[in-house]
Amino acid sequence: MNKHKVSLVSLGCPKNLVDAEVMLGHLPPERYEIVTDEAAADIIIVNTCSFIQDAQEESVDTILEVADYKKTGRCRLLVVTGCLPQRYRDELDKELPEVDLFLGTGDAARLVGLLDEKLGGGHVRQAVGQPDFLYDHTTPRVQSSPFYSTYIKIADGCANHCSYCIIPKLRGTLRSRAMDSVVAEAERMVGQGVVEINLIAQDITAYGADRDDGANLPELLRRLVKIEGLRWLRLLYAYPDGVSDELIELIASEEKICNYLDIPLQHIDDQLLGAMNRRVGEAQVRELIARLRARIPELTLRTSFIVGFPGETPEQFGKLLRFVEESHFDRLGVFRYSREEGTAAATLPEQLSERVKSERYKQLMKAQARLSFRKNRALVGRVEPVLVEGVSEETELLLRGRSVRQAPDVDGQVYITAGQADIGRIVSLRITDSSEYDLIGEIVED
């Protein structure tokens, strides 16, 4: 029996990537073969993102691009999954006749049954269910990230209800995994060669708040750091008011927990933060940063901000720009406000023009680029732990890797100009040069 060849394109955030890996894991290997070449695939799955307008446009463009393989390749079925059909199921049904099957964010476990039905001549096309799925350690999963690094989703959904954000409608409310389940998955991953685990959720500091078994982030971390063979444990997407003294102390004292924290702040002006339905204001943010820097001087702090939120005045943007220029952050992401139908902020007056949003975006990114260059220059001469990831894309003469200060996919790289090491190994590297976002260095003896 010939196997059906399946290719999957995953768009958006690491949380989406985990969903894609779970979908692939459900495909029985005796009947389905996973391939990376869409032209060779009988079934193409596009796992979409619709967080903001740019992500929606990328998703639609990708769907139309791979739909050509139904004419030029061997594709029999085009499947679109994830956030976009969860949000726009009826509209997509009409506007994308090229697509054979739509699934939502909670339908991974139904994939095989629906594919079998379609391949058998079934007519089901729209199969978007409730966003209530939560994988665990027993759920099959195919790791697509490098063998030495992985993401583990400790919760799904969100209960914060920020006024600009559509996530609760796409992913449902907060659903935390059992601690035993997370630890079991981590142990299995480390047993397979993983040395870096990146913990993700919409808000990792809310982990366990929906459970009645005592689960919480600090207790989970205490259990994870005991896993032999795990080297780096990285925390991504922490809501500021959930960063407790207990959590800060754990990051400072546990060697395996990276001195790295991603805390999306969104703005610094109290009036705008209130309109965003954020629970923290400027005073709390500044106090949190001071506590973090005092207890963890070597902390790499990443955040993200929104520019062009409805009603943002030049003075309020100027306040944000000055806050960034105060050099609080080592890494910074900036989003132009996207007016998303179904969110509270979409109904606010004083919506700003795309031109104003773009100008403010450029100003903030330019300011952070200067700061990033200065911070990277300050590392020259220091010895840093670096995870070797392979050969540089620019030249086979250089190895590349990531410092403990750099998260996968969102931060820069380290280019290794001297010394040899196996991929997946963490080495000591002396920083010899830097650019705005990347570092350059030489391996030194441990």
| Residue 261 to residue 423: CA distance in whole angstroms | 25
What span, in angstroms and rounded, lies between the C-alpha atoms of 68 and 350?
Answer: 41
Residue 406 and residue 384 in contact, taking contact as beta carbons nearer than 8 Å: no
The helix or strand, by DSSP H or E, that contains position 194, with its residue range, turns out to be: none
Contact 46/20 with Cβ under 8 angstroms? Answer: no
Binding site per annotation, positions:
13, 49, 83, 158, 162, 165
Kind plus residue range of the DSSP H or E element containing 333: strand 331-336
DSSP for 20-63, written as a single string: HHHHHHTS-TTTEEE-S-GGG-SEEEEEE--SSHHHHHHHHHHH
- Host H or E run for residue 403: strand 399-403
Phi-psi region of 176 (alpha: psi -120 to 50; beta: other; left: phi over 0): beta
Q: Which residues are annotated as a binding site for [4Fe-4S] cluster?
A: 13, 49, 83, 158, 162, 165
Structure tokens at 368: 């952070």
Which has the closest alpha carbon to 300: 336, 341, 265, 329?
A: 329
